[in-house]
Amino acid sequence: MLPLLRSRSRLLKTALARPAAARPYHYTSNQVYGYREPVARSLPDYTEQQLSNRAQASNLLRFVTYYRSLGHRLAALDPLSLTPADPSALYQLDPKRYGLSEGQTFDVDGILNTGSSGPQRMGLDEIVARLNKTYAGSVGFEFAHLPNVAERRWCNELVEKTMATERGIDSDAKKRMMYLLSRSEVFDHFMAKRFPQVKRYGLEGAESMMIVMDELFKASSGANVRDVVIGMPHRGRLNLLTDLLKYNPASLFNKIKGNSEFPEDVPGAGDVLSHVSQSVDLEYPGGQSPVHVSLLHNPSHLEAINPVAAGKARAKQFDLLETMTQSSTSSPECDIGDRVLCVQLHGDSAFAGQGVVMETLALSNLPHYTCGGSIHVIVNNQIGYTTQSFNARSTIYSSDVGKIIDAPVIHVNADFPEDVAIATKIAFEYRNKFRKDVIIDLIAYRRMGHNELDEPAFTQPVMYKHIRGRRSVPKLFEQKLIEEGVVSQQEIDSIRDQYSAHLDQQLESSYTYKPEADTLKGKWSDMVISKADVTKIDTGVSLETLKQVGIASVASHGVTPHSRLAKFHITPRLNKLESGTGLDWATCEALAFGSLLLENKHVRISGQDVGRGTFSQRHAMLVDQSDEHTVIPLNHITPTQPGKLEIANSNLSEFAVLGFEVGVSWENPNRLCIWEAQFGDFFNGAQIIIDTFVSSSESKWLRQTGLVMLLPHGYDGAGPEHSSCKIERFLQLTDSKFEYDDPTPDNCNMHVAYPTTPAQMFHLLRRQMVRDYRRPLIIAGPKTLLRHPSVVSNLSEMGPGTSFQPVLSDAPSDSAKRVVFLSGKLYYDLVKEREAKGLVDSVAFVRLEEIAPFPWEEVKSTLAGFPNAKEFVWVQEEPQNQGSYTFVAPRLSQLLPEGAKLRYAGRRTLAVPATGISARYKAEQAAVIAGAFA
């Protein structure tokens, strides 16, 4: 062994030899709530006889190995036969290249899996025929890139046993396939006839997708998987909904006619036809239990649903783990993925082209983000809108990006439903064995255009000449079964006629159909659809509990923390808790978290470096300085506390991680989900998630989320990036009412806050979980305020009867001549300047702590406290075209005394958040402060 390899081997042995309690948290799930180590699987090594065979027949072994690696390049995967075989693969898979010749026989034990054990001699011709049947038929396998030897061997043995021997598809199974295929075609034809102007994104050409999904549901039921969470785009969505997922066609047809999917008394903007969702319990013969299938709502932004589905699947599994642990009849032993399966469907061009795919894949094996392995199904049309594959990707297959996580890939020709079923079974077995992602590349075609109103021959005349000259997949399979004597033409006609008649009946029923609100059930049954936002609610906690939580938040539990933490974090916090004064931001945040944990609420905070905090302020996890053993102190407030804090230090992703947290928040209203950006503007990479899920999911789908986004914000000379969380974008996305005289209650879709005290932060976080509904909360969080000597709160500000205050103001005063409105960090600079100028009596400050929903009544009552004020100013650090000004100015102006105008003080309009020239920044900042008093 080389010295380097020996060194690595010693390191690995040393690490794994440590007692479990002494291993770093990176190695064990016992120390950190929510941490799940990847499932490790191994196989026994080859026997001595098998090793001998492999050595003696090394040429044959090389030949078989290359076939396993390259056989897919010879496979007949394209139903249109437009993709030629790879000539280099033909060359490399010639037996003569390996010194093999006809007539030779070999003992293939340990070289090729024949389905039987022990010595077995085979001739070269038989071996080649078996390899062709296994690896170069209508299914192609890519396992050779798997770095784990056990996984590769397991995959090869399973495939060789399954593909080259009896495949176990009986007549009943074939009839079931035909049934699904035929009904899918009937549905598409029905829609084309009854709704010819509707873009339905039918499944024609890829009907075998229905077989994939049916096999996955059946396999899940048989493996005691209780929940399947599906994220999928538009292609074939209506087919899947109305058939396997039992969605009421009358509801669908009612929607197509332009009616709302919600009852008349339920507010909501609704969404388009191809985004509807469904949850249903399915039972399969021989299954261990019914399987609950959830097809999630899907925005049109391609692949954005992927991380959401993964997050929901993980959260669902965690809830099951808790239920099983608490049950006296069920074993608590349950790995992530045992009971919940995530299925993600993709388009071929989208899978290859959308960055969120790669980001989601990168989460798949991370200990705080794994959902136990997703099954990816690429419904491969071999075209993206009008873009052919050579313009859509830089790789051979659209699935190749999956190799970034070493996911096995199974390519299958969608024209062969039986092979599709076998490929699906193999994929499910792999995922269930290794709890890792696997990809099914269902290579099909698209009979119509991107939608049914397109003409695809404008851009792909050759492809569509082939497509329009061939029989459909259902018709081909029906003819095959007729020839095999499995089914008669009369039976086929009966299936088609009955389903067509059923759809006609449902169309008739749609004229009187009354929708129901399919929301707030199960875990959400204690929640309500809010009619108006409640911003003030008692979120205080007893002082005794707060002290208990605060002390527990820095308890080391045997961990030896860094000496600086003991001096500057732990001891000061304990002293301030004892006095009840001077509590900083991180302490009040910890009090909010811990008090919620004691109230049977879970807290999950996710993002880059959230355990320590970007600004080294949080330290919610303490790491032992000798061996990196880690403890989360707030998980040990009491021995029996019901709630847990999960600190999920993420990879360097925003899009996928924020989407993942949306999915987690959708699953259970009793889990406070927080995504913290390293700097406020990092959310830029996740704008699609914000636009299509965070700000609008309740309006579009009645899907509530209490997700909190913490976005560090504030100008401190950092330059164009990392100064601003672009609060103006979030305000633009809110639907807070625009007119004070509007009698409609302000039922704002999400809250946007810029708090200036630690106690306010405490109340904001608790309010998220105390209310009986859930709304997203966007917090422009602090940076320099984290340690500012003036930015402290007393314990009494969080005691019983206290609550979040949307507006903080100076005391009412008859002497104030000017009222300065503002938000955030700038307040402390202005207070200092006001004192220096001797203007304490004449200038009053009013802080908008919550900007949306706009605090109309609080601002109005505050203004009444300054009856002699004649000047009114809005001041902000951000440029005039950014920040809160454009949102607050037209609203504030409605509340000012008659004839009064609101003056703006701040930076002029800029194309960037801030200058990168330090001298200019200082001059601008000085001018902003001076402008408030000019």
pLDDT tens readout for residues 814-824: 999 999 999 99
> Is residue 328 over pLDDT 60?
no
Mean pLDDT within 40-61: 90
Partners of 793 in beta bridges: 583
Lowest mean pLDDT, pick from 11-25, 301-315, 516-530, 746-760: 11-25
Q: What is the 3-state secondary structure (H, E, C) of 834-848?
A: HHHHCCCCCEEEEEE
Place of tokens 């699904």: 180
Q: Which token pair is 307?
A: 């991380």
Q: Does domain 171-323+334-514 have CATH number 3.40.50.970?
A: yes
What pLDDT does residue 331 have? 46
Could you read off the pLDDT of 627-658 as tens digits, one per residue? 888 999 999 999 999 999 999 999 999 999 99
DSSP labels, 469-488:
TS--HHHHHHHHHHHHTSS-
Residue 702 has pLDDT above 70, yes or no: yes
Specify the domain boundaries for CATH 3.40.50.970 within the chain: 171-323+334-514
The two beta strands, 902-907 and 850-852, are unpaired
Q: Does the pLDDT of residue 789 top 90, yes or no?
A: yes
Q: What is the CA radius of gyration of the chain?
A: 31
Q: Quickly state the pLDDT bin for 674 (edges 50, 70, 90).
A: very high
pLDDT per position as a tens digit, 120-145: 899 999 999 999 999 999 999 999 99
- At 14 the pLDDT is 42
Six token digits for residue 425:
């079974």
What is the DSSP code string of 413-475? Answer: ETT-HHHHHHHHHHHHHHHHHH---EEEEEE---SS-SSTT--GGGT-HHHHHHHHTS--HHH
pLDDT at residue 516 is higher than 90: no
Tokens of 416: 């062969």
Class for the domain spanning 543-713+754-798: alpha beta
User: Nearest to residue 546, comparing CAs of 599, 617, 606, 618?
Assistant: 599
Q: pLDDT tens across 475-512, in order?
A: 999 999 999 999 999 999 999 999 999 999 999 999 99
Number of Cβ within a 10 Å radius of residue 294:
21
pLDDT value at 15 more than 90: no
What pTM value is reported for the model?
0.94
**What is the arithmetic mean of pLDDT over 172-200?**
95
Using the predicted structure, report yes or no on whether residue 885 has a pLDDT greater than 50.
yes
| pLDDT > 80? residue 806 | yes
Per-residue pLDDT band at 166 (split at 50, 70, 90): low
For residue 288, what pLDDT band results from cuts at 50, 70 and 90?
confident
Per-residue CA distances from 217 to 209, 220, 301, 303, 799 (Å): 12, 5, 26, 22, 51
What dihedral do alpha carbons 359, 363, 368, 369 form, nearest 10°?
Answer: 90
pLDDT at residue 86, rounded to an integer = 83
CATH architecture of 809-933: 3-Layer(aba) Sandwich (3.40)
**d(Cα 737, Cα 852) in Å, to the nearest integer?**
9
- Residue 325's pLDDT is 60
Q: What is the pLDDT of residue 333?
A: 56
Q: What is the pLDDT of residue 4?
A: 46
How high is the pLDDT of residue 326?
Answer: 59
Query: Which residues, in sequence order, are CB contacts of 253 under 8 Å at separation 6+?
Result: 194, 506, 507, 510, 513
Average pLDDT over residues 862-873: 97
Instruction: Please say whether the beta carbons of 871 and 818 come within 8 A.
Output: yes
Element at 753 (helix H, strand E): strand 751-753
Report pLDDT for 266: 86
Which of 316-325, 423-432, 500-509, 694-703 has the weakest average pLDDT? 316-325
**Consecutive H or E run containing 873:** strand 871-879
Asked whether 720 and 693 are in contact (CB, 8 A), the reply is no
Q: How many CB atoms lie within 10 A of CB 283?
A: 10
Region(s) of the chain under CATH 3.40.50.11610: 809-933
Cα-Cα-Cα-Cα dihedral sign, residues 63, 67, 70, 71? positive
Q: What is the distance between the alpha carbons of residues 905 and 927, in angstroms, rounded to a whole number? A: 9
The pair of three-digit structure tokens given for residue 38, joined into one six-digit string = 């990847």
**Residue 168's pLDDT band (cuts 50, 70, 90):** confident
Higher pLDDT, 167 or 751: 751
The helix (run of H) or strand (run of E) holding residue 411 is strand 409-413
Q: What are phi and psi of 879, to 5 degrees?
A: -60, 160
Name which residue leads in pLDDT, 266 or 76.
Answer: 76
Rounded distance between C-alpha atoms, residue 609 and residue 590, angstroms: 16
- Beta-carbon contacts of 166 under 8 Å, excluding residues fewer than 6 positions away, are none
Q: Is the pLDDT of residue 18 over 70?
A: no
C-alpha to C-alpha distances, 769 to 108, 336, 544, 602, 842, nearest whole angstrom: 63, 26, 21, 10, 40
Average pLDDT over residues 196-219: 95
Helices of type H across 21-76? 48-56, 58-70
Residues of the chain with CATH 3.40.50.12470: 543-713+754-798
- Position 321 pLDDT exceeds 50: yes
Q: Which residues pair with 673 in a beta bridge?
A: 604
Q: What is the rounded average pLDDT for all residues in the chain? A: 92
pLDDT reading at 742 higher than 80: yes
